[in-house]
């Protein structure tokens, strides 16, 4: 094993993907800069905690990158099973926060298994798609196992309840399946059914506060729209060049819940303006497009699928988070990858990027 490890390290050193690492590092640094602005007045301990998480994340990134991803694919279903078990555990023993059980309370840390679950699902899907090739485009028949893989965590997460993350998981799932040659017709049929199912789900399955968020989105004047309105004011008032670093006013003078987990983009946009927002988004775009390029270069379906999955994960996170912060989408608890404060999110993304690095390093070798 140690020999294998040593070879892996050498490969990593020679074929280290600097574009991937540096674009991720840029996003991370901007996120840190922003986090300091958001927390330095009240909760500067969050900043040092985030530094620790990032350190741990770097280790995870390198660790995952050095493992041969084929080894990982071998344990994909086991990992998926473990993840589902964690989700069950969180429903039973999780900490009650704001009307939902989403966290394990581990003393100083809170762990949110639903973040990790997204990655594990991507890996499991990669494993399935790798092991069962299809000679023609995939239809309903080929969907049975993937749906089984994704529905268990999706339902458990929805039960927490965290419809935002559950929805995100489905988006990632469909993105991966589309790339894995799912028929467009089939997808259209699924989306049609989902639309039909939306109304009863909204009426019967959603909690009161969730419905309120949706209503707030369509009616920003209502009471529930407070957060969105504050975020909009913050972003808009940043104008073209922003108010300057540490000079954001709206965010710090107003009471703003979930500022550093769900709304860091509002802080960024207020202080750095349109120009800064575009810069941050550009860094994300480079990262995501590079991951998709790695997917295109991958030697096998597992590597390609995992990369597409990770890219989808990042893309939908960014799109939904910025969309909700800028008032274009309802408020759902979706983090901004590498920028939001939180260990579960950081470690998950780190592991995901490690996997991508793994695929990138091994694209020529068999």
CB of 325 to other proteins, least distance (A): 10
Contact residues toward other proteins (CB under 8 A) are 70, 130-131, 133-135, 175, 178-181, 221, 223, 226, 229, 232-240, 243-244, 247, 249-250, 252-255, 269, 273-274, 277-278, 281, 284-285, 288-289, 292-293, 295-296, 298, 300-302, 304-305, 307-308, 311-312, 315, 318-319, 322-323, 326-328, 366
As a dihedral over the C-alpha atoms of residue 39, residue 42, residue 44, residue 45, rounded to 10 degrees, the angle is -120
Q: What is the DSSP letter of 267?
A: H
Q: DSSP letters of 37-54? A: HHHTTT-THHHHHHHHHH
d(Cα 36, Cα 18) in Å, to the nearest integer? Answer: 26
Own/partner long-range contacts of 16-23 (Cβ < 8 Å, ≥24 apart)? 16/357, 16/361, 17/294, 17/356, 17/357, 17/360, 17/361, 19/286, 19/290, 20/287, 20/290, 20/291, 20/294, 20/353, 20/356, 20/357, 20/360, 21/357, 23/283, 23/286, 23/287, 23/290
Q: Is 327 left (phi over 0), alpha (psi -120 to 50) or beta?
A: left
Structure tokens at 185: 């017709």
CB of 228 to other proteins, least distance (A): 12
Q: DSSP letters of 91-115? A: HHH-EEETTEEEEEEETTEEE-HHH
Closer to other proteins by Cβ: residue 64 or 295? 295
CB of 128 to other proteins, least distance (A): 13
Question: At how many degrees (to 10) do helices 343-361 and 18-39 cross?
Answer: 170
CB of 1 to other proteins, least distance (A): 20
CB of 262 to other proteins, least distance (A): 16
Closer to other proteins by Cβ: residue 55 or 244? 244
d(Cα 265, Cα 338) in Å, to the nearest integer? Answer: 12
Closer to other proteins by Cβ: residue 56 or 281? 281
CB of 247 to other proteins, least distance (A): 6
Closer to other proteins by Cβ: residue 15 or 229? 229
Closer to other proteins by Cβ: residue 42 or 106? 42
Closer to other proteins by Cβ: residue 312 or 347? 312
CB of 43 to other proteins, least distance (A): 16
d(Cα 188, Cα 196) in Å, to the nearest integer? Answer: 12
CB of 338 to other proteins, least distance (A): 16
């Amino acid at each position: 094993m140690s020999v294998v490890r040593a070879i892996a390290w050498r490969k990593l050193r020679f074929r280290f993907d600097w574009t991937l690492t540096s674009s991720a590092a840029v996003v991370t640094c901007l996120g840190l800069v922003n986090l300091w602005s958001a927390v330095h007045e009240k909760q500067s301990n969050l900043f040092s905690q985030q530094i620790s998480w990032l350190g741990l994340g770097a280790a995870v990134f390198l660790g995952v990158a050095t493992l041969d991803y084929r080894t990982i694919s071998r344990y994909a279903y086991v990992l998926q099973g473990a993840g589902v078990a964690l989700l069950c555990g969180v429903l039973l023993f999780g900490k009650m926060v704001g009307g939902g059980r989403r966290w394990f309370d581990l003393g100083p840390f809170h762990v949110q298994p639903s973040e990790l679950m997204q990655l594990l699902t991507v890996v499991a899907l990669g494993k399935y798609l790798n092991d069962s090739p299809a000679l023609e485009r995939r239809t309903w028949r080929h969907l049975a196992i993937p749906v089984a893989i994704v529905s268990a965590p999706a339902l458990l997460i929805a039960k927490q309840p965290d419809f935002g993350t559950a929805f995100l998981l489905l988006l990632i799932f469909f993105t991966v399946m589309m790339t894995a040659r799912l028929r467009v017709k089939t997808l259209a049929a699924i989306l049609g059914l989902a639309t039909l199912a939306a109304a009863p789900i909204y009426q019967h399955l959603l909690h009161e506060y969730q419905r309120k968020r949706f209503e707030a989105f369509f009616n920003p004047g209502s009471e529930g729209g407070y957060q969105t309105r504050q975020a909009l004011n913050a972003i808009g008032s940043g104008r073209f060049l922003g108010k300057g670093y540490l000079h954001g006013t709206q965010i710090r003078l107003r009471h703003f819940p979930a500022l550093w987990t769900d709304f860091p983009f509002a802080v960024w946009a207020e202080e750095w303006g349109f120009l800064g927002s575009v810069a941050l988004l550009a860094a994300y775009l480079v990262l995501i497009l590079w991951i998709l390029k790695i997917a295109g270069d991958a030697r096998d379906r597992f590597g390609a699928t995992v990369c597409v999955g990770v890219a989808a994960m990042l893309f939908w996170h960014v799109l939904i988070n910025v969309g909700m912060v800028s008032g274009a989408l309802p408020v759902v608890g979706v983090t901004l990858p590498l920028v939001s404060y939180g260990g579960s999110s950081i470690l998950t993304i780190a592991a995901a990027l490690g996997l991508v690095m793994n695929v990138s390093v091994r694209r020529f070798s068999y």
